Amino acid sequence: MKADTQVRGRIAPSPSGYMHLGNAFSALLAWAFARSAGGSFVLRLEDLDERCQNPVYAKGLLDDLSWLGIDWDGEPVVQANRVPAYEEALERIASRAEIYPCFCSRADLHAASAPHASDGTPLYAGTCYSMDADERETRAAGQRHALRLHVSDETIGFVDAIQGPYEQNLARECGDFVLRRSDGVFAYQLVCVVDDIASGVTQVVRGSDLLSSTPRQILLYELLDASIPEFAHHPLLLAADGRRLSKRDGDSTIASMRERGITPETVIGYLAQLAGQAEEAEPMSARELAGIFDASKIPTRDMTVDLSCLEA
């Protein structure tokens, strides 16, 4: 098969804690998608949020990825260095769409009796959108505020490479969304799109918890006149009690597996089985997985992990 050198994949982890098995699953799938097509792969640290600024976690992440055999091309992109690019993108969007200051506090947002958006956040009731223009200007000069993008009553759909067709009416299911938070930090939706465009990413593989963000992101691609990448949202790994695997599940961190003497091949073999790539959890390297990878075999439903499968 001829390598498709056009594919450029990425992972964009938030270094807010030690990498756990769910993060490793996500990284491995994104990497295998790109590498199995002979493509390149970018690593970006989504570190704008204060919780992500502990260098121990960023270093741990790079070490754990390397231990697993997941490599990347070039230097990691660090969002903390990219604020001017976000400011410029915000201006470009503002020249083509309506961005307005929002003074609502978190409590205001929860108190508003709006229905909930598909990802569980309250649907913004448009309080500050309907504010009188003079009042808005006076308040914006002296009061901390977020910046929201006004969305129109339009449905944005796409075909996800794992989940199939997905669509959302932005006005009804999402509402006007934040591009810059009231603490001045640029919002995930904006920075993710600006960075994926800047890195030339053609393929976004990530957890299905972000499926409902994708229509908003597609709108931003359109407003920034950029080509829209392929999207693939994989199922999530759950702890035995049905919660999403998280940093709190200490035994599931890659660091603790390394300490317990578990090999990277054992971890990859187990993740490959969960991803539908192998019948049994036979040890294999990341490279071997890329060699047999078949995206059409990835299941769509979330899966409960059994960490005892990793013990010798």
- As measured in angstroms, the least distance from the Cβ of 214 to ligand GLU is 9
**145 vs 107: CA distance, rounded Å:** 14
Taking CB under 6 A as the rule, which mask of x and - marks residues 177-216 in contact with ligand GLU? ---------------x-------------x---x------
Taking the least distance from each CB to ligand GLU, the nearer of 192 and 237 is 192
**187 vs 102: CA distance, rounded Å:** 14
**179 vs 145: CA distance, rounded Å:** 11
Taking the least distance from each CB to ligand GLU, the nearer of 13 and 39 is 13
- As measured in angstroms, the least distance from the Cβ of 275 to ligand GLU is 17
Stretch of residues binding ligand GLU (CB under 6 A), selected from 11-19, 103-111, 236-244, 297-305: 11-19
Question: DSSP code of 90?
Answer: H
Q: Is 48 in the site for ligand GLU (CB under 6 A)?
A: no
Question: Residues 7, 8, 13, 33: which binds ligand GLU (CB under 6 A)?
Answer: 13
Stretch of residues binding ligand GLU (CB under 6 A), selected from 12-20, 150-158, 166-174, 274-282: 12-20
- As measured in angstroms, the least distance from the Cβ of 141 to ligand GLU is 33
Stretch of residues binding ligand GLU (CB under 6 A), selected from 7-15, 78-86, 109-117, 301-309: 7-15
Stretch of residues binding ligand GLU (CB under 6 A), selected from 8-16, 57-65, 72-80, 294-302: 8-16
SS3 144: coil
- Scan residues 115-174 and list those touching ligand GLU (CB under 6 A): none
Which of 281, 278, 287 has the alpha carbon at shortest distance from 306? 281
Question: Residues 7, 12, 48, 104: which binds ligand GLU (CB under 6 A)?
Answer: 12
DSSP codes, 193-253? HHHHHHTT--EEEEEGGGGGGHHHHHHHHHHTT-PPPEEEEEPPEE-TTSSBP-TT-GGGB
Query: H/E element holding 85?
Result: helix 83-94
SS3 content of the chain, % helix, strand, coil (to 5): 40, 20, 40
Which of 128, 173, 180, 141 has the alpha carbon at shortest distance from 155? 173
**84 vs 42: CA distance, rounded Å:** 21
Query: H/E element holding 58?
Result: helix 55-68
Stretch of residues binding ligand GLU (CB under 6 A), selected from 10-18, 98-106, 113-121, 287-295: 10-18
Taking the least distance from each CB to ligand GLU, the nearer of 8 and 145 is 8
Taking the least distance from each CB to ligand GLU, the nearer of 145 and 206 is 206
- Using CB under 6 A, list all residues that contact ligand GLU: 12-14, 46, 192, 206, 210
